[in-house]
Amino acid sequence: KNAQQAPPELDVAAAAAYYNIMRILHVELPSLVDATAPALIPAKSFLSEEVELRGLLDETLARGAKDYSQALTTSIGSLRAALRTGSVRSVEDVVPRVELLPNGSIQVDVKLGLRIEAPSLLPTLSPRQSAANNKGQGQAPLGFPLELELISIYKVDKRGTIIEHRIVENKINGQKSPADVVSSWIKGGDGQTSSPERTVQSFVDAVKWARSLSGN
């Protein structure tokens, strides 16, 4: 029988770095839905200067600590901006799952329980619902549930430095989101220009894709 793969042996300093990366991810990721929190780059102090962010198709979304930080700031900022405007609200505490994989990488699974409040993003009423509303017999939707599940893997070298962050899977209301939707959200739109409006729009586009799955 082949020996079961196990994480590599590390010296004391590297092992401590692994532990602290996992601990910090547990501490920092719940603030994803805190609209008043400072800009968040999870485990920033452990990033390599050459760190790469890779997408669902294993494409490079950002290379180098500066571009990586910009990409994370943009994607997290779009969610927080939507929370600040009241378009979206958080309805569940964020409890990340962080685990060490047999190959020595760190996998993170985060679920964000949200609810869409903006009228422009809510599902459209059916003709029957609209007629009932006009007669005072019905009510408009009170919100649209939105669950984001973000799964990614951090590759860490033997010195305890993060050299790659790869997006493994993103789900919106249980459905795997297409690579182009994820890429656009992370890049904040077309990747050419950046503005608060474009940043929020990239998140809104992901929401609209999720809404389309419900048949509305």
Asked whether the predicted pLDDT for residue 216 surpasses 90, the reply is: no
DSSP letter for 136, please: T
**Percentage of the residues of the chain whose pLDDT score is greater than 90:** 43
Q: What is the pLDDT of residues 50-65, one digit of tens each?
A: 999 998 888 899 999 9
pLDDT of residue 21: 98
Which of 15-24, 101-110, 162-171, 174-183 comes out lowest in average pLDDT?
Answer: 174-183
Asked whether the predicted pLDDT for residue 47 surpasses 90, the reply is: yes
Query: Crossing angle, helix 196-213 and helix 179-187, to 10 degrees?
Result: 160
pLDDT of residue 79: 85
Amino acid at 158: K
What phi and psi, each to the nearest 5 degrees, are found at residue 137?
-105, 0
pLDDT interval class at 68 (50, 70, 90)? very high
Distance CA 216, CA 205 (A): 15
- Give me the mean pLDDT over the 174-184 stretch: 67
Task: Name the average pLDDT for the chain.
Answer: 80
Instruction: Name the residue among 153, 125, 155 with its Cα closest to residue 140.
Output: 125
- Give me the mean pLDDT over the 171-179 stretch: 76
pTM listed for this prediction: 0.78
pLDDT of residue 178: 66
Asked whether the predicted pLDDT for residue 140 surpasses 90, the reply is: no
Task: Give the N- to C-terminal CA distance of the chain in Å, as an integer.
Answer: 53
Helix (H, G, I), strand (E, B) or coil at 173: coil
Asked whether the predicted pLDDT for residue 74 surpasses 50, the reply is: yes
Q: What is the pLDDT of residues 188-201, one digit of tens each?
A: 545 444 444 555 55
Domain coordinates in residue numbering, the chain = 12-129+141-213
- Give me the mean pLDDT over the 90-116 stretch: 94
Give the CATH fold of the 12-129+141-213 domain. Answer: Nuclear Transport Factor 2; Chain: A, (3.10.450)
